[in-house]
Amino acid sequence: MGSTRCQLATGHGARGHRTVVHSPRVRNVVISVMLLGACGSNSGGAAAIDAAPIDTAPAPGIDAPAGTEDLDMMASDFECVLHWDKVNAYRITNKLGHDPLPIANNATGGGPFPVGTIIQIVPTEAMVKRRVGFSADTHDWEFFSLGVSSSGTTITTRGTTDVLNAFGGNCLTCHTKAMPAFDLVCGTTHGCDPLPLTESQLVSIQNGDPRCP
């Protein structure tokens, strides 16, 4: 792994979607901040990260019809990443009961991930597969910047085309380099710019998630 990439790797709540609440340990890792800054900076109109925690953000496009399967994440839905399956360097789960592993483990690309899939390579960033039609630009992924501590998770920023990491890198810009068969999910052979961290370093960051018991 080498220079740059923003890898984010996510119901029935307030908007008619299932909300899953999980019990929540992250350490404050400088190396994780390095990762957050791995994407190149973006000059395209993305707002700076607001320090105030948020749960709900305006969804792109129109609201989903009643009964449409979706995963509108709340801060309490995020949990210790070590509870999830590990594929290559990232952690993956699906909160709606679908199995994302056949696609994630397909070395040649398995096409779109099922709605409800959450991918995280570090505890402080995530990508979540929303309903069909949520955002054509992001293949229906929603990106998150998170704050994590032993008391749980806060959502710092969420959205589609304008979510930035801590150093101003645009996450969608990084993920659009993935080959089409990989559904914007980056990996060492997916076409994205390489990360400046080894897999063992990423595992160390994941193991330091303060929400873990």
pLDDT of residue 187: 84
pLDDT in tens, the chain (213 residues): 333 334 443 333 334 344 333 333 433 343 444 444 444 333 333 333 333 456 665 445 556 677 899 999 999 999 999 999 999 999 999 999 999 999 999 999 999 999 999 999 999 999 999 999 999 999 999 999 999 999 999 999 999 999 987 667 789 988 989 999 999 999 888 978 887 888 899 999 999 999 999
The answer for residues whose C-beta is within 8 angstroms of residue 176's C-beta and 6 or more apart is 184
Alpha carbon distances (Å) from 27 to 10, 54, 144, 205:
20, 21, 19, 8
Q: Nearest 5°: CA angle at 7, between 97 and 116?
A: 15
- Contact status, residue 120 vs residue 186, Cβ threshold 8 Å: no
The first and second tokens of residue 189, run together, are 């052979």
pLDDT of residue 198: 87
Global confidence as pTM: 0.75
pLDDT of residue 16: 39
Closest CA to 73 of 138, 135, 183, 155: 155
